[in-house]
Structure 1
Amino acid sequence: MTSPSYPVVDVLRTRHTGYLLATSLLGRLPGAMAALAIVQLVRSTSGDFAFAGLITAVYVIAGAVGQPLLGRLIDRLGQVAVLTVSGILSFLAFTGMALTLEPLPGLAVALAAAAGVFTPPLEPALRALWPRLVAPGPQLKAAFSLDAGAQEIIFIVGPLLTVVGIAVFGPVGNLLFAGALGLVGAVAFVLDAVPRAASTSRGSGGPRHPGVRSPILIPAVARVAVFTFGIGVPVGALTIVATASEAARSNEGLAGWMLAVNALGALVGATVVGIRPLGSTPARLLTVCGVLLAVGYLPLAATALPTWAYIAVAGISGLMLPPTLGQVFERISQLSPAAALTEANGWVVSAMTLGVGAGTLVAGAVVGAAGTSMVAWIVLGASTLTALLSLVALPGRAAVPTDLPVNIARQ
């Protein structure tokens, strides 16, 4: 009697996948460390929270701008050169920001922008490699879900590493520590044979189609990016919802528990779809997954729930994130021309980042103006927006343009 085969296990057993996933996650850690690291550094110097918010926002927005731009360079020049150079430049920018924040705050803001722009695009780089590494069908679906679920580990480990880094190296040294992790991860990633082979063949495929300047100009890709922005909104709003709920209940530590359990729920969702990938195509599943994700956040509007139950529903709200992102990554691999796949993945990474930022910004403004009693309305508003933007990914609206060279083997 043969033992059952689980696609996620097959993916992890495939040569190169474990190493590339691990080094990619290592290189992505600064993204989960930098915000807290910057705020703590500002607090240790000027203590100006407004400035801390400004410089952190500059870093995040610059990162959202840089990912598709660097992805475009990877599609032209290959992964090795771009990831190595961007890793070095980002590390130098982190170093400069840490050293100039107190004496030259204006320069520190500019260096925060540079650190964000030059963040090595390891997320889109790895996602452009998955179709090279594993077989299409269940294994590819499992790979994308595994990638999305592993991303949650970063946002659990990153803040903890920041706390340890500040204790060991101090606020300035901790920012250098975060930048160094990004550089080490990027260099380790490109030492593998697969990124080198992809670089030899100029990224993920052949030369760009002369009629396509950027994959974001493909309407179907743009719609997926809009969809991804939508699923980022409630993710970003959750930080404010959790913090406001903590204040309203006078329950110290509630926000941390809610965010941790939310990440745990996402890991559960990733594990389930890794073992049993969703059976239909991404074109059919995107809208369904987006709506289910929106519905999963709705119980957070029930602010009168007991604390233990409110923490539990935070976990439920995380369940659909990895399955939904897995469908996004697979759909992008189908829609984008092969030679522009890294840039296309960069656009959806940026869209997600901007959605998270928008959710945090708007939710924070609402609570700041009207108080913690607005939590239920924030949840309802974010979920409604996600559900509405999910409609742009309906199959009839996301068809592959017939005049563009899509890698049919990836469909």
Structure 2
Amino acid sequence: MTRTSPPVVSVLRSRHTAYLLFTSLLGRLPGAMAALAIVQLVRSTSGDFGFAGLITAVYVVAGAVGQPLLGRLIDRLGQVAILALSGILSFLAFTGMALTLEPLPGLAVALAAAAGVFTPPLEPALRALWPRLVSPGPQLKAAFSLDAGAQEIIFIIGPLLTVVGIAVFGPVGNLLFAAGLGLIGALAFIVNPAPRAASAHRSSRDAAHPGIRSPILMPAVARVAVFTFGIGVPVGALTIVATASEAARDSDGLAGWILAVNAAGALVGATVVGIRPLGSTPARLLTVCGLLLAVGYLPLVATGLPTWAYVVVAGVSGLMLPPTLGQVFERISQLSPAAALTEANGWVVSAMTLGIGAGTLVAGAIVGAAGTSVVAWVVLGASALTALLSLSVLPRRASVTE
């Protein structure tokens, strides 16, 4: 009897997939390194944490704006040209920011915005390629889950690389190091034949479908973007919850453990659905996955748990993130026209980024005003919002079988 390989294994064995996944993750590293790198650079110069927060927020918001815009350009002009140009411009903007931060802080803020706007949209670019690289059905589901799980790896590696980069290159050199990794990843990604083939295919496709409108104007795509914003909120709030828990328990390093174990839980979730993809359609599963993700964060309400148990439930809260994101990516690939798929993926990337930012901002404001005693209410509020926005993608009668 022939043993069939798990779908995730067959995905990694498919031509180009492992290379594209690796180079995409390499190119995305600045997104996981930049926030800490910028804060540490400001700390080494002016030491103004308010300014550090401002310039970091400008970078993050600009990145959320840039992803769908660059995605739309990719859909029109192809991956190779846009990824190469945006990679170079983002690298130059990072370099300028690092060099002008102390003498010209206003210019540094503008360059931080440019670095964010021109962040190469490798995440949506890869997701637009998955339907071309693997077979529909279990393989495609596994590819999207693998992509979501691999994303967790860079948010574990990114901060560690920042620590190493600062030790080796100093705060300024570390920011250039992060930017250089992003540029290398983007250029390595487009060397592969698959992005070039997609760019060549785009020309004939555009001739057949001229003037296609932005996918975010499609109600179904917009609802998925709103849903994705919702699942980002508790992810962002967790940073504040972890920090507040560390302070309340007077346990140095606890926040790092909570976040690391949460990411490890997400990797476990990604592995499970990579081996055994969820059987139903994304149209049916999105709301269920969103509700389960919201429920998974609720044990963090029990702030009186022993420290070890609290760290364990942080891992449980991460389990559903990759399966949920996998459904998002697959649903977007179903809803968006092929000629606008990169832009559509760019919108959900931006929605997730804004959700994480909103969760961190609001949770930080609440804990800052009321103290660590309100952590349970922060978790409840974030989970409730996720559950509420999960209802926005309940399948309509006419579209259940889409």
- For the aligned pair, the TM-score class normalised by the smaller chain equals over 0.9
In structure 1, the residue matched to 2:179 is 179
Shift of 1:398: 8.8
Counterparts of 2:218 and 2:196 in 1: how far apart (Å)? Answer: 28
- The alignment partner of 1:201 has SS state of helix
In structure 1, the residue matched to 2:256 is 256
In structure 1, the residue matched to 2:376 is 376
TM-score between both structures, scaled by the size of structure 1: 0.96
**Pairing 1:131-210 to 2, within 5 Å after superposition:** 131-202=131-202, 205-207=205-207, 209=209
Counterparts of 1:376 and 1:135 in 2: how far apart (Å)? Answer: 44
The residue identity in structure 1 corresponding to 2:351 is: A
- The alignment partner of 2:135 has SS state of coil
The residue identity in structure 2 corresponding to 1:29 is: L
Shift of 1:210: 5.3
Q: Is the 8 A contact 2:100 2:108 kept in 1?
A: yes
The residue identity in structure 2 corresponding to 1:66 is: G
Q: Rate the CA distance shift 1:86–1:308 in 2: closer, same or farther, 3 A.
A: same
Counterparts of 1:177 and 1:398 in 2: how far apart (Å)? Answer: 51
Q: Is the 8 A contact 1:74 1:203 kept in 2?
A: no
**CA offset digits 1:268-294 (Å, max 9, x no partner):** 000000000000000000000000000
**CA offset digits 1:188-247 (Å, max 9, x no partner):** 000000000011122895458457420000000000000000000000000000000000
Counterparts of 1:397 and 1:48 in 2: how far apart (Å)? Answer: 54
Counterparts of 2:348 and 2:105 in 1: how far apart (Å)? Answer: 32
**Pairing 1:73-112 to 2, within 5 Å after superposition:** 73-112=73-112
Count of matched residue positions in the alignment of Structure 1 and Structure 2: 402
In structure 2, the residue matched to 1:49 is 49
Counterparts of 1:105 and 1:398 in 2: how far apart (Å)? Answer: 54
**CA offset digits 1:118-145 (Å, max 9, x no partner):** 0000000000000000000000000000
Counterparts of 2:341 and 2:44 in 1: how far apart (Å)? Answer: 42
Identity rate, percent? 87
Counterparts of 2:241 and 2:389 in 1: how far apart (Å)? Answer: 21
The residue identity in structure 2 corresponding to 1:160 is: L
Q: Is the 8 A contact 2:224 2:328 kept in 1?
A: yes
Q: Rate the CA distance shift 1:208–1:376 in 2: closer, same or farther, 3 A.
A: farther
**Pairing 1:14-93 to 2, within 5 Å after superposition:** 14-93=14-93
Q: RMSD over aligned Cα, in angstroms? A: 1.5
Q: Which runs of 5+ in 2 are unaligned?
A: none
Counterparts of 1:203 and 1:187 in 2: how far apart (Å)? Answer: 22
**CA offset digits 1:64-86 (Å, max 9, x no partner):** 00000000000000000000000
Q: Is the 8 A contact 2:83 2:121 kept in 1?
A: yes
Shift of 1:4: 3.4
- The alignment partner of 2:396 has SS state of helix
- The alignment partner of 1:305 has SS state of coil
Shift of 1:58: 0.1
**CA offset digits 1:276-325 (Å, max 9, x no partner):** 00000000000000000000000001000000000000000000000000
Q: Is the 8 A contact 2:6 2:275 kept in 1?
A: yes
Counterparts of 2:322 and 2:5 in 1: how far apart (Å)? Answer: 21
In structure 2, the residue matched to 1:404 is none
Counterparts of 2:358 and 2:226 in 1: how far apart (Å)? Answer: 13
In structure 2, the residue matched to 1:361 is 361
The residue identity in structure 1 corresponding to 2:18 is: G
Q: Is the 8 A contact 1:127 1:345 kept in 2?
A: yes
Counterparts of 2:398 and 2:252 in 1: how far apart (Å)? Answer: 45
Q: Is the 8 A contact 2:212 2:340 kept in 1?
A: no
Which 10-residue stretch deviates more, 202-211 or 119-128? 202-211
Q: Rate the CA distance shift 1:203–1:328 in 2: closer, same or farther, 3 A.
A: farther
TM-score between both structures, scaled by the size of structure 2: 0.98
**Aligned structure 1 segments of 4 or more residues deviating by more than 3 angstroms:** 203-212, 397-400
- The alignment partner of 2:202 has SS state of coil
Q: Is the 8 A contact 1:198 1:204 kept in 2?
A: no
Q: Rate the CA distance shift 1:362–1:148 in 2: closer, same or farther, 3 A.
A: same
Q: Does 1:219 align with 2:219?
A: yes
In structure 2, the residue matched to 1:320 is 320
Shift of 1:5: 2.3
Counterparts of 1:202 and 1:182 in 2: how far apart (Å)? Answer: 25
The residue identity in structure 2 corresponding to 1:364 is: G
Shift of 1:2: 1.8
Shift of 1:87: 0.0
Shift of 1:3: 1.8
Q: Rate the CA distance shift 1:207–1:163 in 2: closer, same or farther, 3 A.
A: farther
Counterparts of 1:120 and 1:141 in 2: how far apart (Å)? Answer: 25
Q: Rate the CA distance shift 1:219–1:208 in 2: closer, same or farther, 3 A.
A: farther
